Amino acid sequence: MANKPAPDNGAENAPVEIYDASKITVLEGLEAVRKRPGMYIGSTDVRGLHHLVFEVVDNAIDEALAGACDHIDVTIDKDNIVTVVDNGRGIPVDVHKQTGKSALEVVMTKLHAGAKFGQGGYKVASGLHGVGVSAVNALSEWFEATVRRDGQIYRQKYVRGVPKTEVKVVGKYPKGERSGQIQRFYPDKQIFKEIDYKFDVLAQRFREMAFLTRGLTISFRDERDGRAMTFYFEGGITSFVRYLNKNRGVLHAPFTVARAINGSQIEAAIQYTDAYGESVYTFANNINTVDGGTHLTGFRSAITRTLNDYARKSNILKENDPNLTGDDVREGLTAIVSVKLEEPQFESQTKAKLGNAEVKTQVESVVTESFSGFLEEHSREAKAIIDKCLTSARAREAARQARDLVIRKSALESTSLPGKLADCSEKDSERSELYIVEGDSAGGSAKQGRDRKFQAILPLRGKIMNVEKSRLDKMLQNEEIRAMITAIGTGVGDGFDLSNLRYGRVVIMTDADVDGAHIRTLLLTFFFRYMEGLIEHGHLYIAQPPLYKVKAGKTEEYIFDDKDLEAFKKKIKSDKIDIQRYKGLGEMNPEQLWETTMNPENRTMLQVGLEDAAEADRTFEMLMGSEVAPRKRFIQTHAKSVRNLDV
């Protein structure tokens, strides 16, 4: 740092540091990040925190996509320091002509500077918000960048984005060892309220990245609790599809295609199962495009066209049979579509939807050509797939008839809401809430405890458990479910209309035991598949009743999980703690239920989101699907928590 005398600016104790013009721009750039972190990383909660990790890992993945790196190690140490090591080429350290600074310093301190240095190849678009590693640097109390390149080890350190050292040679590494980059940082507590990374969230994303980058190994170690996982998938997206279908009955071995076309790289893996849902996930430059886009459109039309053409040619579909519809060919379809583009265009800030028009035709032609070739060469598999589509078509027709019946019935009954519903007096849906409560006795407590002005109660009997193994379509014929649909008012499936929603909040309130969890999963899956709009627009919630009431002397508290119970025991240090465990909602009297779970002033509720549809889908298939073994395994691996819930 320059050490000239301070200019006379009239102030006593003026700062000694002198900023030359270039440094001022650097500071301005990164100061903007610190002033409005949300604009760069979305938020400063745990998501924003994870964003920092993803941003740094994405940079290493770009290096892997360029073919220069095949190992990435991520470590969170006991003090919450994150270290990301890769064996790529290392960020160049030579002096960058425009700025007179080391390229490393420019990449680390200038917003959006990274891309300029990349030569060719596809970019992960530097994470969701495209901010680059300099934003991570700005939001870190300290950052240490180490480069292994040309036999030398270079290092530069930063504090809140400002260089604290020059780029210095700190050592040599032996000939024959790999070059690479080591990024170490500690998120700034002035920015992040809490530093508590979630292992599962990070691991899931690393797994996804490893699937999407064939041959890449990502090792993840969490030294806070010693957990560690390594992801490497020789099969790339073929392995991804196998993973998604692990708990499903498959109709054939996965089919995969990978082809370059007009500068785009198109990959797809397809495998049909005997499940009823569709599990198609799309990616553009490794970004999970949850809202689909042109690659998904191209893929879907290729599948529909190819299966219809084949079914006609092979005479499985006769002259007078109608074509298979898009819905018919999507049932039981598991697929990954991954495209890599030099200039991806995303339609929203969140990058959830791909916009490049040319990609539709590219995906469509690659998939049509290769998938029809697969069907020609595998007639047995082709027949199994088309039979499945025909069964789906028939089931859909039967379901449509059943649904019509429900809708006709509910139209007839439209003036009469279900008898068990205890409605509220508030008619404005923005201010009203519907509690869906498991069991009559809990329903009774909720009815007495509620604020009848804005809270309605619909008790459900345990009976819906009986339909768990059947198709969700059958659920529509269940009386309890029909009462729920009528009370909510929106209708289901294609007939869903949010403007008819009768309650702004629909709250699932079940017991904290195994049956309660079961019913909750079932209801969530029902909402996910038939009233997705309810979740998408944030109207679905899960109530959080307390697990315990504890008393020690005059202190009395409600406790919501075992972690808090331990904390309470530590805090009180008395032998005489009276712990009452609530097994079911029915054990609480109406006042307690209101106080702890329903009163907006005290309660916490979980808002249900559409995120992680892949994992939710997997869990549902596992719990509800036809394969018994994985369900057993799931119950065994969760036996501990199940026992805790049950005592």
Question: Could you list the active site residues?
Answer: 438, 511, 513, 515
Least Cβ distance, residue 92 to ligand 0RA (angstroms): 5
Rank residues 69 and 535 by Cβ distance to ligand 0RA and give the closer one: 69
Rank residues 59 and 83 by Cβ distance to ligand 0RA and give the closer one: 59
> φ, ψ for residue 127 (rounded to 5)?
80, 180
Least Cβ distance, residue 492 to ligand 0RA (angstroms): 48
Rank residues 91 and 266 by Cβ distance to ligand 0RA and give the closer one: 91
Rank residues 104 and 524 by Cβ distance to ligand 0RA and give the closer one: 104
Q: 140-144 long-range CB contacts below 8 Å, 24 or more apart?
A: 140/52, 140/185, 140/186, 140/187, 140/188, 141/186, 141/187, 141/188, 141/189, 141/190, 142/185, 142/186, 143/108, 143/183, 143/184, 143/185, 143/186, 144/182, 144/183, 144/184, 144/185
Q: How many helices (H) and strands (E) does the chain have?
A: 22, 24
Rank residues 60 and 303 by Cβ distance to ligand 0RA and give the closer one: 60
DSSP string, 39-68: HHHS-SSHHHHHHHHHHHHHHHHHHHHTTS
Instruction: Yes or no: say if 442 and 511 are a contact pair by the CB < 8 Å rule.
Output: yes
Rank residues 115 and 411 by Cβ distance to ligand 0RA and give the closer one: 115
Q: Which residues pair with 75 in a beta bridge?
A: 83, 221
Rank residues 44 and 181 by Cβ distance to ligand 0RA and give the closer one: 181
> φ, ψ for residue 141 (rounded to 5)?
-55, -45
Instruction: Give the pairing of strands 227-232 and 217-222.
Output: antiparallel
Rank residues 53 and 91 by Cβ distance to ligand 0RA and give the closer one: 91
Site string for ligand 0RA, 102-121 (x = CB under 6 A): ---------------xx---
Least Cβ distance, residue 286 to ligand 0RA (angstroms): 15
Least Cβ distance, residue 162 to ligand 0RA (angstroms): 20
Q: What's the rounded Cα separation, in Å, for the pair 386 and 278?
A: 15
Least Cβ distance, residue 150 to ligand 0RA (angstroms): 9
Instruction: Give the pairing of strands 540-543 and 505-509.
Output: parallel
Question: For residue 315, with 0-12 CB atoms within 10 Å meaning exposed, 13-18 middle and 19 or more buried, which class applies?
Answer: exposed
Least Cβ distance, residue 171 to ligand 0RA (angstroms): 19
Q: Which residues pair with 228 in a beta bridge?
A: 221
| Residues of this chain, 48-67, that bind ligand 0RA according to CB under 6 A | 59-60, 63
Q: Which residues pair with 551 in a beta bridge?
A: 556, 578
Rank residues 115 and 639 by Cβ distance to ligand 0RA and give the closer one: 115
Least Cβ distance, residue 210 to ligand 0RA (angstroms): 16
Q: Which of 126, 181, 245, 271 binds ligand 0RA (CB under 6 A)?
A: 181
Report the SS3 class of residue 86. Answer: strand
Report the SS3 class of residue 223. Answer: coil
Which string of b and e fits 393-424 if b means at least 16 CB within 10 Å? beebeebeeebeebbeebeeeeeebbebbbbb
Q: Binding-site residue total for ligand 0RA (CB under 6 A)? A: 12
| Residues of this chain, 77-96, that bind ligand 0RA according to CB under 6 A | 86, 88-92
Q: What's the rounded Cα separation, in Å, for the pair 317 and 123?
A: 44
Rank residues 91 and 136 by Cβ distance to ligand 0RA and give the closer one: 91
Residue 470 carries which side chain, given as an amino acid letter? Answer: S
Least Cβ distance, residue 121 to ligand 0RA (angstroms): 9
Q: What's the rounded Cα separation, in Å, for the pair 161 and 27?
A: 8
Residue 58's closest CA among 72, 43, 38? 72
Rank residues 59 and 392 by Cβ distance to ligand 0RA and give the closer one: 59
Scanning 125-198, the segments in alpha helix (DSSP H) are 133-138
Q: What's the rounded Cα separation, in Å, for the pair 378 and 366?
A: 18
DSSP designation for 638: T
Report the SS3 class of residue 269. Answer: strand
Residue linked to tokens 């071995």:
253
Least Cβ distance, residue 116 to ligand 0RA (angstroms): 9
Residue 255 carries which side chain, given as an amino acid letter? Answer: F
Least Cβ distance, residue 181 to ligand 0RA (angstroms): 4
Residue 321 CA: distances (Å) to CA of 48, 315, 399, 401: 53, 10, 19, 19
Q: Which residues pair with 507 in a beta bridge?
A: 435, 541
Q: What's the rounded Cα separation, in Å, for the pair 263 and 166?
A: 40
Residue linked to tokens 């009276």:
578
Neighbour tally for 288: CB within 10 Å: 19
Least Cβ distance, residue 161 to ligand 0RA (angstroms): 17
Interface residues with ligand 0RA (CB under 6 A)?
59-60, 63, 86, 88-92, 117-118, 181
